[in-house]
Each structure stands twice: as structure tokens, then as C-alpha cells.
Structure 1
């Protein structure tokens, strides 16, 4: 069944978009990531303009994050104080991202910028995940338990002034660190339509030194409010949010996430990490190849 997307200005097969959302939701449920970092590239591969893909993916991530945040709040897995600072930073970042988005769009380079950022980010994150999973494989093969991660914030974080206590996270650090982290993720959310969890979670663990018990819930809390702000900013500035597209994606992702969660309970974590790393690297490779291939249509009208 074909549906017309009013903002993207093209017709799409609704079943294909729902299945795409379902596939991303499946990965989200299996690997514990928001999936926005895969939604935008997949939409671009399907033929959706990059600006509309990024803006609509952020809207889809907003809806998909609600149930996750509620579940973590119920079990006390959210540091509300830390999350609040991350949200403030994320809102500031989304406003800065809107200015960057409009600047790049005005010079006709927004599509290229989105593709390059995805290649760099996905390539880096995928490589790090693959390296970590491979280390676990080698340790298991040798019969040696992998070294436990030491919970310690980065020296740069320790050097920042104005320390606060974050009791739920077990930290005594400057609020400037999560504020800056939130701003960076807010910029990426605005430009790429990602929730930022694939960057936020490692940063919270290895830079801020947060407790693993509250990392995922606090990340989802930040993602929820920042993607709401990003959607509003996109609607008022770029006008690139296609609510029909976002609704189809959300419909598929809700179902896919439930199926993915069932798979995740039966698989070993290191195999899941390696599988996710492979998916991320393949998407990065496809985006990189696309940068050097002449498109069928050199110019697009939006």
C-alpha cells in the first residue's frame, strides 16, 4: 500500500516503512540502543531526503523512548538530578544544532555533512564495540575472566570546578561535565536525528564514571526530553518533520522492540555486541561508499 509523505514529497510503500521501523525496533530491543542512529541511514537508503529522514527519526525516537523511561523510573534506575542537567545541556545543544543545520542547508551541504558525520560516528563506535567484544571472546577462549571495568571518571572531568553530589549515580563531580556532554548529544540529535544513546551510554560510563544501574535509564530520560525539544525546533525552523513517516516508523518499532527483547534474553552479551558492531560498521561502509558514487539525481527540490 502506497502512502504519500507530505513533507518528503514522495510516495512510499507503508509496509516497507513499517518493516524498516520493526527492524530497527528489533535491534533496539536486542541491544538496548534507541535505534535512531540506524533509522536515518536506512531511510536515506530507501530514498527519503536526508533532512526529512533526520527530523522524522528524532520524532520516532521520542515515541519509542517513553515506555523505556517509565520502566526505569519504576525500578529507581534514573538519576533525576543528573538527567535534568543532561536535558538542559541537550536543549542548548539542539538550539545550537538548529543554527548549524540552517547554515549547512543554506550553502547546500547539509546532506553531505549528515553522511560524513554518520560515517565518522558509526565507524568509530562500531570499531570500539567490535574491539571490546573481541577482547571478551579471547578471554573466554583462554579461560580467563575479562578484566572488570574500574568505575572512575575521566581526569578532565575531575579537573572541572563547582562539584555537586549525584547520590543516585554515586558521583561527586562538576555539573559542567554532564552539561557539556548533553549539549554535544543535543547537537548530534538535531543534525542526525539520533537519540544519542550509542554515544551517551559509553560517555556516562567511561567519562563520568556513573553506576551501571542508572546509566541506561538516565540516558533514556535525557533522550526523551531532548528529542521532544529537537522535534519542536525542527518543526519551527526547518519544517522537515514528516509526521506520517514518523508514525509508520513508530508503529513498526514498538512491535520490533518487544520481539528483540525476547531474543536478547536468550543470547550471550558478547555475541550481541559483536552483532551490533557488525551492523553498525556495515551501515557506515554503505554511507561511505555513497559519498563517492554519483547519485541518480544530482539535484533535489525540497
Structure 2
């Protein structure tokens, strides 16, 4: 069953888009990521223009994140105070990012910028997450059930920054500057790459802030809701790159998938979740990398008249 997308100016299979939305929603509930890091490349793979994929992908993330947050909120896995700080930084970053997006589009470089951003960020984040998670699993096996307990995180100069606040749900006493800056970076990435930013934020919240993995997932999704909503509004009004028909189909699938993902996530350990997420991130990165270097299907040549 085909349906026409007015902004993307092409026809797509309805069930394919619904299935994609459901799969991304499942990942949202399972890993605490909006799923945009996978949704935007998938939309590009099926022929959606990159600029439209970014604007519309951010919109889909809102619904799947709301659904995921509701599931985690009921389990008490959302640090509201930490989430609000991340939201403030994210709103500032996403606003700046949308106008940077417009600047790159005006220069005719937005498609290349989107693809390169994915290859670079997904490669770095995925690689680091995989290495750390595998090492953590090995250490846990060596320690065994009766081994010495390890610290949740190591204190560095970052934890000595001013403006400290206490986050009781996460059992932390750290500077408010750090979560604000994380939110700022994620906001910019949301606008440029059409992502919720969870693939950056989740590792940052675990390794930099030292938050428990169980709280990270719900708190990450809470921040993603507001930042992606702001990005979607600005992309629609400033850059006109949000396809409403495509967004609605993705929303329907995403809401349903997120509920199943949240239930599945409760059955896996934190390290197992991070390894799975790292493998998926690296897989998408490799696919995009080969698309950048392989010869395109349509070749053009410029001749002198």
C-alpha cells in the first residue's frame, strides 16, 4: 500500500514506515535513546532526502520518548531534577543547531554534513561503548559474586566544578555545569542530525556524571521529549523540512514499540544493554561510511562547452 509524502515528494509503502517506527520505538524503550541515530539513516536508505529525514525523524522521536518515559516513570526510574537541567541546555543547543542547519543548507553542504556527522559520532561513541562494556563484563566475572564491589564511577577534576547540586534520585552531588553542557551538545546534534541524542547522552550520563544505568534510561528519554519537540517546531517553521504524513506514520509505530521495549529492558543488565546499543551504533556507522565512499548509481560529468 503506497502513500504520497508531500514534503519529501515521493511515494512510500505504509507498512514499511509503520514497521520502522515500531522498531525505533522498541529501541527507545529498551536503551533510553530516542532512536533518531537509526531512524534518520533508515529514512535516507529508502530514498527520503536527508534534510527531510532529519526534520521528520526528530518529530517521531517525541512520541516514542513520551511513551518510553511513561513506562519508566511508573517504575521510578526518572531523575526529574537532572532531567530539567539537561532540558535547559538542550533547548539552547537545539535552537542554535537549527540556525546552523539553515546556514549549511544555504551553502549546499547540508547532506554531506549530515552523513559525515553520523559516521564520526557513531564510530567514536559505538567503539568506546563496546570496549568499556566488554571490559566491565570481564571484570565482573573475575570478581564473582563474592568479589569486592567496584565504584560506580571515578572522581575527576570534572566533579570539582562549582555550582554543585544534589541529585537524590541518582545519588550524586556534582556541578550543574556538567549536565547543562551535555544537554547543550545533545541539542545541537538533535538539530543537525535529527537524533534524540541518546547515543551521546546515555554514555555521558553513565561515565561522566556517574548515574546508575537504571535511572539514566528514563531521565534520558525525559530530556529527549522537550529538545526534539523544540527542534521539530523550529525545523518546520525555519527550514520547512518536516513531512507531516511521514511523521504521523512513524509516530503510530513508535508509541506502540516503546512500551514493549521498556518491558524488555527490565530483563537485561546494564552492561548487556550497552553492548547491544554499541553493536547497533557501529553497524549503522559502517553502512553510512560505505555509502559515502562507494561510487553512486547516477554519475554526472561536467564538460567544457
TM-score class normalised by the smaller sequence? 0.7 to 0.9
Give the alignment of 1:1-302 within 5 angstroms.
1-135=1-135, 138-139=138-139, 144=144, 150-152=151-153, 155-261=156-262, 264=265, 272-296=273-297
CA contact (8 A) 1:154 1:208 kept: no
Q: Hey, what's the Cα distance between the residues in 1 that align with 2:6 and 2:188? A: 26
CA contact (8 A) 1:154 1:206 kept: no
SS state of the match for residue 288, structure 1?
helix
Q: TM-score, with normalisation over the residues of structure 1? A: 0.87
Alpha-carbon spacing, 1:136–1:174, altered in 2? closer, same or farther (3 Å): closer
The alpha-carbon deviation at position 266 of structure 1 amounts to: 5.8
The alpha-carbon deviation at position 123 of structure 1 amounts to: 1.1
User: What do residues 129-163 of structure 1 show as CA deviations (whole Å, max 9, x unaligned)?
Assistant: 32234335645776856985523465342242222
User: What do residues 181-234 of structure 1 show as CA deviations (whole Å, max 9, x unaligned)?
Assistant: 111000000111111112112111211223444322221111111111111111
Aligned residues: CA RMSD: 2.6
Alpha-carbon spacing, 1:297–1:53, altered in 2? closer, same or farther (3 Å): farther
Alpha-carbon spacing, 1:69–1:298, altered in 2? closer, same or farther (3 Å): farther
The alpha-carbon deviation at position 53 of structure 1 amounts to: 0.6
Q: Hey, what's the Cα distance between the residues in 2 that align with 1:201 and 1:85? A: 15
The alpha-carbon deviation at position 254 of structure 1 amounts to: 2.9
SS state of the match for residue 239, structure 2?
coil
Q: Hey, what's the Cα distance between the residues in 2 that align with 1:179 and 1:203? A: 12
In the comparison of the two structures, how many residue pairs are matched? Answer: 299
Q: Hey, what's the Cα distance between the residues in 2 that align with 1:37 and 1:133? A: 20
Q: Hey, what's the Cα distance between the residues in 2 that align with 1:276 and 1:10? A: 31
User: Which structure 2 segments of 5+ residues have no match?
Assistant: 301-305
Alpha-carbon spacing, 1:36–1:154, altered in 2? closer, same or farther (3 Å): farther
User: Which structure 1 segments of 5+ residues have no match?
Assistant: none
Q: TM-score, with normalisation over the residues of structure 2? A: 0.87
